[in-house]
Amino acid sequence: MAGFAVIQERAFAAALKSMTDEELFRLMAKLEMRSQGSGRSSSTDETFVKIVLTESAIERRFPGQMLRPYKEWLTRLRRQEAHQWAAARARGGRAISGEAGPETPGRS
């Protein structure tokens, strides 16, 4: 069974190489949300393993920047979502994904 897990990890790592920066960053954000929601952080947890592999892929693309491009992208995304949420509320509409604010987890 452990051999199968290694094969899955290799396939996942290979898939990361073909992703655009945007796709890679979106995946990382989703994995972080999933990890926060699960309450688990074991090194054998599938989400944790995928986070480590995704971090490594980002670091290979942006050597020496310690995930800074991802963090900057995430900040821009949150600002954009906050602006969209505020604009929708100002128009009397609902927020992008319900009534909660821009920090609501689970939006893509």
Q: What is the pLDDT of residue 105?
A: 46
Look at residue 72 and tell me if it is in a domain: no
Question: Structurally, how many domains does the chain consist of?
Answer: 1
| CA proximity to 67, closest of 93, 39, 29 | 29
Mean pLDDT of 54-73: 97
Contacts of 18 (CB under 8 A, 6+ apart): none
Look at residue 83 and tell me if it is in a domain: no
Which residue has 């199968």 as its token pair? 4
Residue 106, pLDDT above cutoff 80: no
The letter for the amino acid at 59 is E
Mean pLDDT of 10-38: 93
Look at residue 36 and tell me if it is in a domain: yes
Q: What is the pLDDT of residue 36?
A: 86
Higher pLDDT, 53 or 44: 53
- Using 50, 70 and 90 to split pLDDT, how confident is the model at 94? low
Look at residue 107 and tell me if it is in a domain: no
Q: What is the pLDDT of residue 70?
A: 97
Look at residue 21 and tell me if it is in a domain: yes
Look at residue 52 and tell me if it is in a domain: yes
Look at residue 100 and tell me if it is in a domain: no
Q: What is the pLDDT of residue 15?
A: 96
Look at residue 6 and tell me if it is in a domain: yes
Residue 101, pLDDT above cutoff 60: no
- Using 50, 70 and 90 to split pLDDT, how confident is the model at 92? confident
- What is the span of the domain harbouring residue 10? 2-65
